[in-house]
Amino acid sequence: MRILIIEDEEKIASFIKRGLKEEDYVVDVAHDGEQGHFLATTQDYDLIVLDLMLPKIDGISLLRKVREEKISTPILILTAKDAVKHKVLGLDSGADDYLTKPFAFEEFLARVRALLRKRGTEASTKLQVADLVLNLITHDVTRAGRKIELTAKEYALLEYLMHNASKVVTRTMLSEHVWDIHFDAFTNVIDVYISHLRKKIDQGYDKKMIHTIRGRGYILKE
C-alpha cells in the first residue's frame, strides 16, 4: 500500500513516515500544498494524509481541488485545528476521516487501516488466489495451509501482485507501489525480489503462480 503525506512540519512528517514504513507501507512526502497536489494528481496512492495549514495551497483548497478532479483516494485530515466547525468543513469538503494533533500513533494507524480496508475489499481481511492466502491484518501468508515466512518487502510485493491477480504488472507499477518515487525501476532489485518470492511461493509445488511476461512484467495467477 502506498501513502502520501502532505505535511509542512518536517519533524512531524518524518515521524509519521518512519512509523508507517515500520508497518511496511510505501510512503511519499510533500511539504506544501502545491507539491502535494502534483503528487496526488500524477501518482497512484491508496491513501493521502493531509494537514490543513499548508503553504502555497491550504489543505481545504487542496482537498476540494483533488475531489473536483475526480480523485477518489481516501483522505485522512491530520491537523491541529480541533474545533467542530473545522471538522465539519473538512468532512464536507471531501475528507474521509479527521484526526487532530496531538494524536496517539496507535489510533492513527487504526484509522489508516480502516480507510485502506474500505478502499480495497470492503472490509475483507484476506486476499486469496487458489490455495495462496494473505491475511491483511496479521500479515500471515500460507499456501496449501503451509505458513510462508516473508520479509517486509517480499510481503509488500506479494500483496500488490495478489491485489492485481491475473493482470500483468509492469516494473513501473511495482516501483511506484512497492518502493517509492525515488526508486530506479531499471535496477535489478525487482528481479531479485521476484526471484526470492518465487522460491518461497512456488518452489515444491507443481502449479507455479508467479510468471514473467517477457517485455511487459509479471503476473500472479492460478
Q: What is the pLDDT of residues 106-133, one digit of tens each?
A: 999 999 999 988 776 544 678 899 999 9
Q: For the chain, give the number of residues.
A: 222
Domain covering 2-119 in this structure, CATH number: 3.40.50.2300
Largest CA distance in the chain: 60
pLDDT tens for 37-60 read 999 998 889 999 999 999 999 999
CA 4 to chain centre: 8
For residue 122, the model assigns a pLDDT of 46
The answer to whether the 2-119 and 126-220 domains have the same CATH topology is: no
- What does the domain layout of the chain look like in residue ranges? 2-119, 126-220
Angstrom distance (rounded) from CA 87 to CA 65: 18
Fold adopted by 126-220? Arc Repressor Mutant, subunit A (1.10.10)
CB 190 within 8 A of CB 174: yes
pTM metric for this prediction: 0.69
Do residues 6 and 62 lie in contact, with contact meaning Cβ atoms separated by under 8 Å? yes
